[in-house]
Amino acid sequence: MSDEYDNNKSYQAQSSEVMDGSTGSVSPDIDYVRPSEVGEQELYHPHSFIEKWVFCQDAKVIGVQYFLTAVFTGVVGLILSWLMRLQLGFPELAGFMTAEHYYQFVTMHGMIMVVYFLTALFLGGFGNYLIPLMVGARDMVFPYVNMLSFWMFFVAVAVLMASFFVPGGPTGAGWTLYPPQTILEGTPGAGMGILLMLISLSLFVIGFTMGGLNYMITILQARTRGMTLMRMPLTVWGIFTATVLAMLAFPALLVSAIMMTLDKVLQTSFFMPTILKAGEVLEYGGGSPILFQHLFWFFGHPEVYIVALPAFGIVSDLISVHARKNIFGYRMMVWAIVGIGALSFFVWAHHMYVSGMNPWFGFFFATTTLIIAVPTAMKVYNWILTLWRGNIRINVVMLWCLGFIVTFVNGGITGIFLGNVSVDVPLSDTYFVIAHFHMVMGIAPLMVIMGAVYHWFPLVAGKMLDEGLGKWHFWITFLGAYSIYFPMHYLGFIGVPRRYFEMYDSPYMTSAVGMNEFISIAAFIVGAAQFILIFNIIKTLKTGKKAEQNPWKANSLEWYTSTVPPEHGNFGDRLPVVHRWPYDFSVPGAKEDYIPQTTAPSEVIHTEVEKT
């Protein structure tokens, strides 16, 4: 490792030769990289246990803190889903559960999984850990703000969890929190529950904004020498674009949360029309419930891509590393990420086809929605073409990636069904919708998370996760997830409505009951299988075999830190200098099948190309 830095030293010395910009001619030295513009970042090193592990300013520790907190909420969400499946499959065993409980579990499961689990995990967890390492920075640019970001998120989670213990319990209005029923008496948790939910969401947005500014400025302004935007790993591109989306979409959530809080606390009528209740006119009147739906989905649709884009980016890197092949169409991949991000702001009303909107609106939003399929399909083709004739390692990481591609294609195709107004109207509010979005933004990103955990665990902990346990984990999850969600498409086609506590005497009761039992059993098994990972992590930390530096033979900078796991400051005395993109795998004629980003051209240029 140390000689990497010695190599760089000599280039540093050559930086006095200046590029002649006017004619575009470059100094004869092909290894030349421009000198540093910004100079060294001033870091505050921790002085105590609390500064090192609790109120820590190191992005890597913050990333792990985000990760663990998000996983905790994810486990809560998982348990809620078990309870829901218990009621749907085996109502006779779920006697303790009332309809109110069921709605509360549905709501909390949805909100936790989408916002507090997936968003926090990808942006807060992977973003914090990987961005500074991958762009070659010492840390995030505002470490103190970054620390505040995590603790704000922590408080948001605490407030959310507190809502389980207040009188009336958490809100049961569905994760979309549609007014007017959300804050009206009769909806479970319409008292303290919804209030805590709205406060928690606002805190989340504030906390995320602080983190998001860090991610964006670190990527834009704190890259190392030689690291151009088009030499960044796609992971960074995915997280970056998702952060931009979040910075522009979360304001709508914040505003709708504030307005609904006022509706709840001060009896304003932003979203509340005139309401008759048991023959009595309520205090409310003159507001617009549809306004909330617009605000919510202006946040809600980009939110889908806030989760999906980091997953796209990460999976591209994992596939490239484990297929020992450069990512196919890197620039196309970047532009597809950016394009999907931009388009995601013009499709929100496809969640509202049944809200009674003007048909021309439906037409417009159906068109924009289907256009998104173009860059998305490009990405899928590129993943396949990256695998094509690659030197594929079928290890746990690759299995998760392959699982992702299949699941994502599956969920994407049902998305094309639902994007069309005429198909969506009969299918909306059925299990088809549940199946669609769990495939496309539940299971698919989760598979990437799992792959990423197995891939980067050696970097974070310095030990290799157990492959055997990993394969069990993968196969149970993969087959189990299909057992859960494939039948749900069918349930949707026969018209089983979602969010129903039970089917009573409807004809679904007889035709769907066996399938519901099957789905529930699969859900119990898949949920339990996730604890294999937790067991694997604990076991590996205790007795796992030590990882070598860069066990996957990857090229990107995070594997070329001064120590493993990286210390505060990441890269030792000298920041790495980047000469190439991170995808130089199996380059013809090169000595190894990978060329790290820090390898200068002069080190590889003399090797002969073998005849093939």
Partner 1 sequence: MSEPKIDGFELKPGFKGMASDTASDQTMFKGVHWGKAMMWIFLLSDTFVFSCFLISYMKGRGSTPVEWPNPSEVFALEAFGVPVPLLLIALMTFVLITSSGTMAIAVKYGYEKNRKMCGWLLLATALGGLTFVGMQAYEWSKLIHEGVRPWENPFGAAQFGSFFFMITGFHGFHVSIGVIFLFIYTYKVFAGHYEKGKKGWFTKLKGDYVEIEILGLYWHFVDLVWVFIFAFFYLW
Q: Which stretch binds partner 1 (CB under 8 A): 284-292, 461-469, 478-486, 552-560?
A: 284-292
Lookup: tokens for 490: 């069918």
Rg (CA), the chain: 25
DSSP 3-state assignment of 599?
Answer: coil
3-state class (DSSP) for residue 139: coil
Q: How far apart are CA 556 and CA 11, in angstroms?
A: 19
Which one of 278-286, 488-496, 554-562, 597-605 is the stretch in contact with partner 1 (CB under 8 A)? Answer: 278-286
Q: Which of 1, 93, 230, 534 binds partner 1 (CB under 8 A)?
A: 230
Among 141, 199, 309, 484, binds partner 1 (CB under 8 A): 141
Q: Give the one residue of 2, 48, 228, 543 binding partner 1; rule: CB under 8 A.
A: 228
Binding segment toward partner 1, per CB under 8 A, in 94-102, 252-260, 321-329, 499-507: 252-260
CB 415 within 8 A of CB 394: no
Binding to partner 1, residues 368-407 (CB under 8 A): none
Distance of closest approach, residue 562 Cβ to partner 1, in angstroms: 21
Closest CA to 232 of 223, 242, 241: 223
Question: Of the candidates 163, 182, 200, 209, which one interacts with partner 1 according to CB under 8 A?
Answer: 209
Candidate list 97, 255, 371, 423; residue touching partner 1; CB under 8 A = 255
The residue range among 19-27, 305-313, 531-539, 581-589 that interacts with partner 1, by the rule CB under 8 A, is 19-27
- Residue 14 near partner 1 by CB under 8 A: no
What residues are paired with 277 via a beta bridge? 280
Asked if 166 interacts with partner 1 (CB under 8 A), we say no
* Residues of this chain, 44-103, that bind partner 1 according to CB under 8 A: 44
* Contact present, 305 and 245 (Cβ < 8 Å): yes
Q: Identify the DSSP state of 127.
A: I
Dihedral angle sign, alpha carbons of residues 563, 568, 569, 573: negative
| Angle in degrees, CA 382, 384, 385, rounded to 5 | 60
Q: Does 435 bind partner 1 (CB under 8 A)?
A: no
Minimum CB separation from partner 1 for residue 23, in Å?
11
Query: Angle formed by the axes of helices 467-493 and 396-419, to 10°?
Result: 10
- Tell me the HSE value of 403 on the side-chain side, using a 13 A CA sphere: 30
Q: Is 597 in the site for partner 1 (CB under 8 A)?
A: no
Residue 165, C-beta contacts closer than 8 angstroms, at least 6 positions apart: none
The first and second tokens of residue 273, run together, are: 């029309």
Neighbouring residues of 45: CB distance < 8 A, sequence distance ≥ 6: 568
Q: Is 220 in the site for partner 1 (CB under 8 A)?
A: yes
Separation CA 154–CA 54 (nearest Å): 12
Residue 38 binds to partner 1 (criterion: CB under 8 A): yes
Using CB under 8 A as the binding rule, whether residue 152 contacts partner 1 is answered as: no
Q: Which is nearer to partner 1, 285 or 514 (CB)?
A: 285
Residue 484 engages partner 1 in binding (rule: CB under 8 A): no
Query: Residue 65 or residue 209: which is nearer to partner 1 going by CB?
Result: 209
Q: How far apart are CA 462 and CA 494, in angstroms?
A: 51
Of these, 40, 54, 93, 144, which contacts partner 1 (CB under 8 A)?
144
Decide whether 263 or 466 has the Cβ nearer to partner 1.
263
Q: Select from 71-79, 112-120, 286-294, 430-438 the region that touches partner 1 (CB under 8 A).
A: 286-294
Cis bond before residue 310 (omega within 30° of 0)? no
The nearest distance, CB 584 to partner 1, in angstroms, is 17
Q: Which of 270, 312, 478, 583 binds partner 1 (CB under 8 A)?
A: 270
DSSP 593: S
Residues 6+ apart with CB under 8 A from 476: 525, 526, 529, 532
Q: Give yes or no for residue 505 binding partner 1 (CB under 8 A).
A: no
Angle of helix 508-543 versus helix 444-461 axis, rounded to 10: 10
Candidate residues 28, 95, 186, 286; the one interacting with partner 1 per rule CB under 8 A: 286
Member of 157, 203, 216, 323 binding partner 1 (CB under 8 A): 216
Residues that bind partner 1 (CB under 8 A): 15, 18-19, 21-22, 33-38, 42, 44, 141-144, 209, 212-213, 216-217, 220-231, 247-248, 250-252, 254-256, 258-259, 262, 266-270, 283, 285-288, 291, 295, 298, 578
